[in-house]
Amino acid sequence: MTQMLKPTDLNIAQCADIWRSGGLVAFPTETVYGLGADACNGDAVAAIYAAKARPSFNPLIIHVADITTAQRYAVFSDTALQLAQAHWPGPLSLVLPIKRGCGLSELVTAGLETVAVRIPENPLARQLLGRFGGAVAAPSANPSGAISPTTARHVHAGLSGKIDAIIDGGPCHVGLESTILKVGPDRVHLLRAGGLPLEDIACDVVVSHPRGTEDAPQSPGQLQSHYAPNAQLRMNVTEAHEREYHIGFGAVAGQINLSRSADLREAATKLFAYLRMADEDAATLGKSHIAVAPIPHEGLGMAINDRLKRASAPRG
C-alpha cells in the first residue's frame, strides 16, 4: 500500500520516520519528484533500484538540508564552496570527492570515488530533509526510462504499490532535473544540462561543456533512451504529419503549446506533463507519433533539447 500524504507537520514527521526505518518516500523538489531513502542504509537504497527497475550501475544524488550536512559526506574545494553558496538551495547537483568513512552506502555511488550532492529549494523538501537530519538518496520518482514526474499524481501512476508513501507538495515549478557539475581541481565539467541554465552559473573557474550535451563527459549510466513516451517522438518539427500529435512552442502552434510567448522557463515547467498528455491524447486520436516544435538551444532550452533528444532516441 502506498500512502498519499498531505504536507502537514505530522506527515512530515512520519516521512522522516519511514526513512529512518528503511522505507521509501517520494517527495517534491523544485525540479522533479524524487524517490527518497536513507543514503546510509544499503537495503533501503537497494529498494529504490528495485522499485524503479533501475540498472544498479547508475549512481544516485544525495539530498541534504544544508551545507554543513553536505560536508559530512563530500569534500568541498574552494570552487565547490563558491558554487554551493551561489546556487544552493536550488536546481544544481555537485559531483565531489566522497568523504572517507562517511557511512554512505556504496550502492549510492555505484562504487565511484565521487558523490553527487544537492540542496533542493522546495520548502517541503527542506523541511523533510531537516527533520531527517542526514542524507536522502533520491533519483527521479519514475520507473527507469519513463518520463520524470512533476506532480504527486505522476508518481502514483508509475510507482503505486511499490513504495511506502508519496507526500504531495503540488507541481514542481522548475520541471527539469538539476544541472549536474563535476568539480575537479582546476576544471568544472557539465555532466547534465538541467534546471540551472549554463549561462547563469556563477563560478571563477571555466565550466567546460560541449556545443550540445550529447558530446558531454557522460554521467555513468546516462542511458540514451530515457524520458520516453509510448509514442515515437520527433524533434524540431515545424509542420507535423497526419499521424503525428504536435506539441508547439511559440509561433509553431501545435495541438498543445509549451509556451505561446516562447518563454523557456514556462516550457521547462510544462515539458514532462505535456509529454504525458500528448501520449494520452495521441492514443485517443489514433496518432502513432509525437512531433515537437523547434526549441532554441540556449538557457533552459539546452536542457529541454537534451531531454527531447533522449525521449526520441531509438528504444533499447
Site residues, Mg ion (CB under 5 A): 140
- DSSP label at residue 260: T
End-to-end CA distance of the chain: 31
Choose among Mg ion, ligand TXA, none what residue 269 binds, the Cβ cut-off being 5 to 8 Å by kind.
none
Give the x-and-dash track for 145-184 against ligand TXA (CB under 6 A). --------------------------------xx-x----
The answer to whether 141 and 153 have CB atoms below 8 angstroms apart is no
Omega cis (within 30) before 89 = yes
Nearer to ligand TXA, 112 or 277 (CB): 112
Contact call for residue 115 and ligand TXA (CB under 6 A): yes
How many whole angstroms separate alpha carbon 259 and alpha carbon 214? 25
| 244 closest CA partner among 259, 234, 257 | 234
Query: Minimum Å distance from CB 174 to ligand TXA?
Result: 8
Contact call for residue 95 and ligand TXA (CB under 6 A): yes
Choose among ligand TXA, Mg ion, none what residue 220 binds, the Cβ cut-off being 5 to 8 Å by kind.
ligand TXA
Count helices and strands in the chain by DSSP H and E runs = 9, 15
- Look up residue 54 and give its three cell numbers: 533501475
Instruction: Return the range that interacts with ligand TXA (CB under 6 A); candidates 4-12, 25-33, 65-73, 292-300.
Output: 25-33
Q: Please report which helix (H) or strand (E) contains residue 283, including its range.
A: helix 264-285
Nearer to ligand TXA, 32 or 65 (CB): 32
Indicate the SS3 state at residue 137.
strand
Between residue 207 and residue 266, which ones bind ligand TXA under the rule CB under 6 A? 219-222
Chain residues that interact with ligand TXA, rule: CB under 6 A:
29, 31-32, 34, 58-61, 93, 95, 109, 112, 114-116, 118, 138-140, 177-178, 180, 191-192, 219-222
